[in-house]
Structure 1
Amino acid sequence: MKIKALVAVRSGSQRVQNKNVRPFAESSLLEIKLRQLLSIRSLDGVVVNSNDDKMLEAAARMGCETVKRDEYFASNSVSMSEVYKNMAENFDGDIVVYANVTNPLLRSLTIENAINTYMMRSEDYDSLNSAHLIKEFMFRDGKPINYDLGRQPRSQDLPDIYALNFALNIIERDRMIECKNVVGKSPLIWGIDEIEATDIDNPIDFEFAEYVYRTHREYQ
């Protein structure tokens, strides 16, 4: 059984231009994530799926497998369900460890522990998906959805609600095709802290993540 990482990158980032390859801590988000994954001993390889030839060439130079993605599956109009299914169909491996380059603060130890846990508990859960705890007073349509206004709790006493952050996802290739997702039908929610969960979605996220990466060695 082959366990491989899958890294999906594309050209055309809108909110942070060229965020995957622009300078980040004397490197780039893409190179940092690939170096990290190549160092994980329990992985049998790293596959980079992209529509961008330059990103694929950089990945190949580092020793990664590459898959050229059709432009349709890299467009802003295609659904992620279609993208997930297509990537899994073009993945040469049995277990997919799907990791986003936009989560540069995810620690290697977290990845190793997640893989070990998934392999030991795969009969109980069909995917493992990273998430972070949200302890916020949440509203929808003008009404609170996780507490009673008449009996307001302390924030630490709010119910445990987890938000998927997609920093790390583990699932069988065939299940990913069937579900058209990296989340299975009976997922194990893998809690990580808010720092590791940092996802670069705008310029402020980029600056924050770069600062933490530079100044806190445990996130390198």
Structure 2
Amino acid sequence: MKKLVAVIPVREGSQRVKSKNIRPFAGKSLLEHKLEIIKQLPVDDIVINTDSEEAIRIAQREGISFHRREPYFASSKCSNSEFHHYLAKVTEAENLLIAQVTAPLIMQESYNRAINTFYKVNCDSLMSVKVLKEFIWYNNKPLNYSIENTPNSQDLPEYLVPTFGLVIVERASMLKTRSYIGKNPHFYKVTQVEAIDIDTELDFEFAEFMFQKKFENTL
């Protein structure tokens, strides 16, 4: 069984941003940009898991393996837990690197550091996270501070928010927990820029702007 396989999930349908994975983004599709990065990583194989015929054509053109996703697992009826279990079930590997195309600003250096970290620390999964230090309210009450003793923002507790953009996980853990995050996770902090995820049209436009700004000398 291969030690580390990079899996790139590409769903054809998108409820908020039509065809976001394969539509033009800074000169190429999000999928093509992601492939450029993943091809440079120390992985044993790359598999595009998709129900998109266009993504399959890109895979064939680039000489990349693909798995044709079953319709249910590409539908909105499929829960994340079901999909994560399915992804592990159909991918033959000891460990999976899940590379989301909707996180186009994660740098190659971050992937390399994450891979090295995964093998060095005692964990069954590595998840990219962003730091949240803000005043949070729920049901008309503050959650993370006392209103009678409001602290400075820098003194608020530090919360870690999974971004799901960069994931490395043992296949056995995914099969057991049905999740990208295992029982013994390591949370890998990324910058606010790398944490950008495309979920809306505004996200798409902003991510493209930041991508072009970051790579303006190489595009």
Q: TM-score, normalised by structure 1?
A: 0.95
Q: 1:163 aligns with which of 141, 149, 161?
A: 161
Q: Which residue of 1 aligns with 2:15?
A: 14
1:118 is matched with which residue? Answer: 118
Q: Which digits, 9 at most, give the CA deviation of each residue in 1:80-107, with x for residues without a partner?
A: 1111111111102211001110000011
Deviation at 1:131, TM superposition (A): 0.3
Is the 8 Å Cα contact of residues 22 and 54 (structure 2) preserved in structure 1? no
Alpha-carbon deviation of 1:10?
Answer: 0.9
Residue 178 of structure 2 is aligned to residue 177 of structure 1: no
Q: Tell me the SS of whatever aligns to 1:86.
A: helix
In 1, Cα distance between the equivalents of 2:106 and 2:120? 21
2:66 aligns with 66
- Opposite residue 5 of structure 2, the aligned amino acid is K
CA distance in 2 between partners of 1:96 and 1:143 (Å): 40
Match of 2:142 in 1: 144
What CA distance in whole angstroms lies between the structure 2 residues aligned with 1:95 and 1:88? 9
**SS in structure 1 opposite 2:6?**
strand
- What are the ranges of 5 or more consecutive residues in structure 2 without an aligned counterpart? none
Check the 8 A contact 1:34/1:59 in 2, yes or no.
no
Runs of 4+ residues deviating >3 angstroms: none
Determine what percentage of the aligned residue pairs are the same residue. 38
Cα shift at 1:25: 0.4
CA distance in 2, matches of 1:208, 1:57: 28
CA contact (8 A) 1:9 1:48 kept: yes
Query: 1:63 deviation in Å?
Result: 2.1
1:127-150 deviations in whole A, cap 9, x for unaligned? 100000011111111111111111
Letter in 2 for 1:197: A
Give 1:182-197 correspondences, 5 Å limit. Answer: 182-197=180-195
SS at match of 1:169: strand
1:88 aligns with 2:108: no
SS at match of 1:77: coil
Name the Cα RMSD after superposition: 1.5
Listed one character per residue, the Cα deviations across residues 38-90 of structure 1 (whole Å, up to 9, x for unaligned) are 111x1112111011122122122212210011001111011111111111111
Give the partner amino acid of 2:192.
E
Cα contact 2:89–2:175 (8 A) shared by 1: yes
Whole-angstrom distance in 2 between the partners of 1:183 and 1:44: 22
5+ unaligned residues in a row in structure 1: which ranges?
none
2:37 maps to 36
Distance in 1 of aligned mates of 2:141 and 2:157: 16
Give, in angstroms, the shift of residue 217 of structure 1: 2.7
Counterpart CA distance in 1 for 2:29 and 2:51 is 18
Give, in whole Å, the separation in 2 of the partners of 1:89 and 1:60: 23
Match of residue 205, structure 1, among 203, 206, 210: 203
Question: Which secondary structure state, in structure 2, belongs to the residue aligned with residue 132 of structure 1?
Answer: strand
